[in-house]
Amino acid sequence: MSKPNAWVTLATNDGYAIGALVLAHSLRKVATAHKIHIIYTDGVTPNMLHQLQSTFDDSTLVDVLDSKDEANLALIQRPDLGVTFTKLHCWLLTQYAKCVFLDADTLVIRNADELFERPEITAAPDMGWPDYFNSGVFVFEPSEETYHKLVQFGLQYGSFDGGDQGLLNLFFSNWRELDARHRLPLIYNLCASVVYTYMAALKRHGDQVKIVHFLGAQKPWLKGGPTPLPAFWALWFAIYDEKVRGTVPSDIEGPTSDERRQAWEQGRPDYQGRDAFENIMKAIEKSLS
């Protein structure tokens, strides 16, 4: 019997666990045919863990790997990225033949199961430095050998940005020289915080977008901050309201109703209720046509 494939994400605290829950429900909404697996650390509280285990097909507790590279992390103003070295544990999920890793701050808005036809390592170029790939979405093949090589490589060479993206780009340094199968179009990793500067391209290709990435320090589940491309944020909130908000334990703070409302402009389609996701998708497609 052949091994199944799986979508994999990571939660290191309750905030990212909320993001992971929305991500999992988005995958089910687009009718993925593959398993959905979460790796998590002890930074996730028991109440939230119960919700994760009720939503995902499987879960795995992992130890936090911290790059300890505070100087490099300070350069990018994101000291929280150190724990994302924990992402390397995804290569130990050898019960699967192939996996697609999705950061917990991504949202799948159209079925993207065709990604499992891609080889390791497949990813989209980083919008800030396209010679490197963005590690928020990538295709990989679980392997204990690869995991141990990655850990040893990280211990020896570190990461040029202090996070997993720098390490993975150093380890898979030939990525930009591989054939086109290894490079994803940006429709599989659309960075909502950046793409508003490329509105002409978004208008041309926006109706093909499959995965949105809320890259940067501002996340949908956090308070305050701007909401670039509010329609995509509204899609996230539509799933949060429908599937997640009522299940979040009372001791865990999620987005407020005011913040959900700010994610969608006045007079647009209803962003709440059973048909919210579909209404917003139709509005986005109409605005891009």
pLDDT digits (tens, 9 = 90+) for 131-177: 999 999 999 999 999 999 998 898 888 888 888 999 999 999 999 99
| C-alpha triplet 217, 236, 252: angle, nearest 5° | 70
- Interior/surface letters 136-174, b for 16+ CB within 10 angstroms, e for the rest: bbbbbebeeebbeebbebbeeebbebbbbbbbbbbbbee
Mean model confidence pLDDT for the chain? 86
- Could you report the per-residue pLDDT of 54-107, keeping only the tens digit for each? 999 999 999 887 777 776 776 667 776 677 789 999 999 999 999 999 999 999
pLDDT at 220 exceeding the cut of 60: yes
Cβ neighbours of 112 (radius 10 Å): 20
Could you give the CA distance from residue 250 to residue 256 in angstroms, rounded to a whole number? 13
Q: Where are the domains of the chain?
A: 6-185, 187-288
Average the pLDDT over 105-128 and give the result: 97
Q: Does residue 53 contact residue 259 with C-beta atoms inside 8 Å? A: no
Tell me how far apart the terminal alpha carbons of the chain are, to the nearest angstrom. 45
What are the beta bridge partners of residue 191? 213
Fold of 6-185: Spore Coat Polysaccharide Biosynthesis Protein SpsA; Chain A (3.90.550)
Retrieve residue 168's tokens. Answer: 């993975």
* Residue found under tokens 């320090």: 217
Collapse the DSSP code of 24 into the 3-class scheme (helix H, G, I; strand E, B; otherwise coil) and give the result. helix
> At which residue do the structure tokens 């059973």 appear?
274
Residue 135: count of CB within 10 angstroms of its CB: 23
Q: How would residue 267 be classed by pLDDT, with cut points 50, 70 and 90?
A: very low
Half-sphere exposure (Cβ direction) of 271: Cα atoms closer than 13 Å? 23
Distance between CA atoms of residues 167 and 160, nearest Å: 7
Give the number of other CB atoms < 10 A from CB of residue 53. Answer: 13
**What integer pLDDT is reported at residue 266 of this predicted model?**
41
pTM: 0.89
Q: Which two tokens stand for residue 53?
A: 């285990």
